[in-house]
Amino acid sequence: MAPAWPAWFGRRGGDASRWLVLDVESSGLDPTRDRLLAIAAVAVQADGARLVVRPGDSFEVVLRQPDVAPDKANILVHGIGVAAQRAGVEPAAALQAFVDFAGDAPLVAFHAAFDRALIERALRAVLGRKLPNAWLDLADLAPVLRPDLKAKALDEWLAAYGLTVAVRHQAAADTLATAELFQRLWPLARAQGADARFASVSKIAAARRWMPS
């Protein structure tokens, strides 16, 4: 997915059926301490019985890390080399571009609390603002829709549906695979009452709290 730089010039909004599936890359696994390195997102649209993935409505950005130190083990995880991090987009511009691209669209991620914490922490630190968008955790929705599957990690859910990722732990590739998983789950969500209103999907996912772990 190419950077959605036209989004810099105007906030997206007004389409209640436009949701964004996203993924981030970070310098580590602690969202309260580690740095946000990249964000990728792709739009999906509820269209009756179908959930349509819109690759043409996508976003990807690497945030510039001028003081990044070489860490081979860490780079092997997220795949963003030192040169790429140093050549990234200035954090303020990158984060504003994401805010503009997202507009008021609800945000969907697998284990969304991690992505949300990193993005919101960066927004507070760099832009001094909050992100008002609603969030949905696909890791909550999937078990409600497929209680017969004992999958937990994203890789396990993707394998259950025969989905592959071009480059695992690369934000754009993970985002597209997560969107495809959401697409596969959509008919089951529809069967449980979901429609183009995001709240209807969130309501189904909320049932996860009552399921045994």
Q: Which domains are seen in the chain, by residue range?
A: 5-207 (3.30.420.10)
Question: From CA 20, how far away is CA 73, in angstroms rounded?
Answer: 30
Specify the pLDDT at position 85: 72
Helices and strands (H, E) in the chain, number of each type: 8, 5
Specify the pLDDT at position 11: 45
Nearest of 64, 53, 66, 60 to residue 24 by alpha carbon: 60
Q: Report in angstroms the alpha-carbon separations of 69 from 1, 73, 125.
A: 27, 12, 21
Question: From CA 28, how far away is CA 20, in angstroms rounded?
Answer: 24
Nearest of 54, 82, 79, 78 to residue 66 by alpha carbon: 82
CB 200 within 8 A of CB 194: yes
Q: Which pLDDT tens digits describe the chain residue by residue (213 residues)? A: 444 444 333 445 557 789 999 999 988 888 899 889 999 999 999 988 899 999 999 999 999 987 766 554 454 454 576 777 777 899 999 999 999 999 999 999 999 999 999 999 999 999 999 999 999 999 999 999 999 999 999 999 999 999 998 776 688 899 999 999 999 999 999 999 999 899 999 999 998 766 555
β-sheet with 36-47: strand ranges across: 50-62, 36-47, 18-26, 107-109, 135-137
Taking the model in full, what pTM does it have? 0.87
CB 25 within 8 A of CB 37: yes
